Chains A and B, each alone.
Chain A
Amino acid sequence: MIALDEIDHKLIQSLARDATQSAGALGRHLGLSQPATWRRIKRLESAGILRGKRLRLNREALGFGVTVFLGVKLATKGHVSLDDFERAVSAIPEVQTVEHVLGLYDYRLRVVARDLADFERVLRRRIMTLPGAGAVEANVLLSEERLRGPLGS
């Protein structure tokens, strides 16, 4: 792991918020030259700390009114291949994230839908028919905050 200083931490936080800022503009904020800022960004990228850009879209504005988290337990472990399940679940467009977890459930899925009726359709036609899917628990997302995390604190 590479050693990071306070400036790296600020750089990470600033780029996580807005990746469209130029190295020059970032450098002016941090008291660095444009080339020095650029070198730091490249270093963070090659260390795998900054992993590419992501477009943030407003779900509601695009008509996706419902986000549901599903805890999925596989029905018959040993008989189903995890690979088959993962491949099939990842291919569902409404499934935004798939996490393999340990605990009460085997997988945690984030599913978006236009409304509850649309969600029910996805659940019945796509999720319940997955190879090996067993018990499913659903929690409807009400609010979500992403925090800055333990950098620079």
Chain B
Amino acid sequence: MLDDLDRRILRHWQADAGLTPVDLADLVGLTPGKVARRIVRMQEAGIIEGVGMVVDWAALGYTVEVSLRITLDKTQSNAFDMFLEAARKVAEVIEIQTFLGRVDVRLSIIARDMGHYQQIYRGDILTLPHIADIEALMHVARIKSDEALPL
């Protein structure tokens, strides 16, 4: 469905999302109109979802980031749904992922400092329903974060 030109457009755009269709046209050797049409086609096909700004939570004062790896009590048939619904209500949870593997769910939590984290952990996380086990990973540094696909 995608040809080499589509892939080249996506590769350049992925590397620098600030590029305009005119910039992209220069890079791949097409007219801006043709690039724009290809972009619209890829948007309509659901391949391109959008362009968003990256928010740096540390710059907003949330300097602590913890990954909580959670195992749920699966003897409860609706454990996943109830847990996820409650976890979505915790403001400091910025990401929820579910897995097939040793861990069922991972929550990404941000906090202003360790005191704040402790408060969220005790008050909002440990009270979430159907938790069987929790492991915490503390973020030290992001080495690579562009989330680029190998196109």
* A residues whose Cβ falls under 8 Å from a Cβ of B: 1, 4, 12, 15-20, 47-59, 61-62, 64, 69, 71, 86, 89-90, 93-105, 107-108, 110, 112, 137-147, 149-151, 153
Q: Tell whether A147 pairs with B140 under 8 Å between CB atoms, given A53-B17, A94-B150.
A: no
Question: Which of A15, A50, A100, A137 touches B102 (beta carbons < 8 Å)?
Answer: A137
Q: Are B61 and A52 in contact (CB under 8 A)?
A: no
* 9 nearest A-B pairs in the assembled complex, by CB-CB distance: A139-B101, A93-B150, A53-B17, A98-B143, A139-B99, A103-B137, A56-B49, A48-B59, A150-B91
A12 — nearest CB in chain B belongs to which residue? B55
Evaluate whether A101 and B139 lie within 8 angstroms (CB atoms) in the complex, with A143-B97, A153-B91 already known.
yes
Query: How far does the Cβ of A31 sit from chain B's closest Cβ, in whole Å?
Result: 21
- Contact across chains for B17 and A149 when beta carbons are under 8 A apart: no
B83-104 to A contact mask, C-beta < 8 Å, 1/0: 0000010011111111111110
| Cβ contact within 8 Å between A110 and B147 | yes
- Which residue of chain B lies nearest to A60 when distances are taken between CB atoms in the complex? B46
**B132 interface hit (Cβ, 8 Å):** no
Evaluate contact between B46 and A51: CB separation under 8 angstroms. Answer: no
Q: Which of A1, A102, A107 has the most CB of B within 10 A?
A: A102
A54 and B52 contacting across the interface, CB-CB below 8 Å = yes
